A and B are shown apart, each in its own frame.
Chain A
C-alpha cells in the first residue's frame, strides 16, 4: 500500500500516518487510535478498523488472533447530545 492512500476517511488519515504510529510503538487498533484519531470520527471506525488492523499486522508482525477487537463506546451511531440529555426519567 502506498503511503498517501487514505485509510480513515472521517479523520483523513493516510497509510503513512498509521505506519508512523506503529513505528512510534502502537501495536493495537486502540493504540493507533490514541496516537492518530483513526476511528474517532463519525463512523467510529466501522470502515477503517479492518484496514488499520492490516497495517498493524504488516508493521509489527503481530497476528490478528493475538490482537483484541478494539473497544467501542456508546453511541455507535451519531446521536445528538440534546437527545441523550433530554431522554430518560
Chain B
C-alpha cells in the first residue's frame, strides 16, 4: 500500500525522535521508521550518565532520555513503525519500506534522515576472525542482549566509545587486558580514562594492533609501538592472550540511503569523513530532505537531539505549521543550547567542523 504523510523520519534514535516530537507538538503528521525492534537508537545501551549542564540533562543516564522521548511520542500520537526497513529513497520524496514481510511505498512532503552512524573498520591480519568486533557491537551484546562478548578483551582506541565500553565490560565481569591507542595520549575524556586506570587496566599509548591470531577464533593479539606516521617499530611487538578485540576507532555517518536522494556530500575528517552538506536548519542540497544527528556529522546524543529539533522546526515552518516568528524564536533557543554543547577542547573542534559544513552548503547555494 501507499502511506501518505506530511513528514517521514528515518531512524528512531535521539535525533529522529526529537524531530518527531518537535513536529507532532505543533500538530504535524509524522511517521518514524526504524529497522530495530525497539526505538531509541544507541540511547538504550547507554547506561552511563551524561555530562554537561543541567538543561542538557547532565547526570541522567542515556536510556532514561530514550524512555522520556518515547513517552512524549506516545502522548503526541507519533506513528513509530519498528522492525521496518527503509530499503530505498526514490525521487519526489518517496521511500520504499518493508514492514511485516511486505513492501510499501511512503510518500512524504518532507523527509528527515536520521540514520546515525556506523563504526569505522580497521583491517589487520586476523581481523576477520570471530572475536573481532566493533566496540559498539560489544556494547549492544552486553547492555541490550545481556551476553558477554568474551572474557579477555583488547580495546583498540581511547576515544570516549573505547573508554566507556571498556568500563562497562569491566562492570559486566570481563577483563580488559589492554587498551591500545595510536596517539601518545588518551583521546577521550580524562574522567572516563581515570576510572579504567584506577581499576588497573593497562594503557598502551603510541601502540597499534599488528595481528589477531588463533585457530578459528581470537586467541592471541599482537600489538606494537608506533613511530612517526603510525609506522610499527620493529622489535617492539608484544603478545597478549585475549579472546576478543573491540575496535573503537571512530564512527562515520551512515549515508547509504541518503546517497540515493542525490543530496551532495563533502569530506570533513573531524565529522567522521563524508558528510551531507547542510544548511544551519539541517536542509540538504535536496530541498525536501533534512538530516539530523550523527548522519549529519559525528557528535553526541545531546547535540543529535538538538539538531533533531532544528530539523523539526524548519520542516514545520516550510509546511506552514509554524509561523516565521515562532520558528525563529525557537531556532534561536535551540542554537543557544547547541553552542553550549560545542565548547571545550573537544566541542570547539566539532563547532568549527560544523561551521565548515554549513559554509560549504552556503557556497553551494550561491552557485
Residues of A whose CB lies within 8 Å of any CB of B are: 1-2, 4-7, 9, 15, 44, 46-48, 50-51, 64-65, 67-77, 79, 83-84, 86-89
Contact = CB atoms under 8 A, between A and B. Distances in A.
Interface of B: 1-2, 35, 85-90, 96, 98, 101-105, 118, 120-121, 123-125, 127-128, 252, 254-257, 259-260, 265-267, 269, 273-274
Contact of B252 (A48, A50, A73, A74): A50
A51 B124 CA distance: 11
Given A5-B124, A68-B265, A83 B256 contact: no
A48 B121 CA distance: 7
Dominant secondary structure of chain B at its interface with chain A: strand
A79 B98 CA distance: 8
B284 to A, nearest CB: 13
Contacts of A15: 123
B120 A50 contact: yes
A51 B123 contact: yes
A76 B273 contact: no
A71 B265 CA distance: 12
B282 to A, nearest CB: 19
B2 A89 contact: yes
Given A1-B123, A50-B273, A65-B267, A6 B128 contact: yes
B104 A2 contact: no
B102 A86 contact: yes
Nearest to A65: B267
A66 B123 CA distance: 23
Given A69-B255, A76-B256, A87-B103, A46 B118 contact: yes
Contacts of B90: 74
A72 to B, nearest CB: 4
A76 B204 CA distance: 38
Contact of B102 (A2, A65, A74, A87): A87
Given A1-B123, A76-B87, A69 B260 contact: no
Contacts of B267: 64-65, 67
A87 B269 CA distance: 40
Contact of A69 (B89, B118, B124, B265): B265
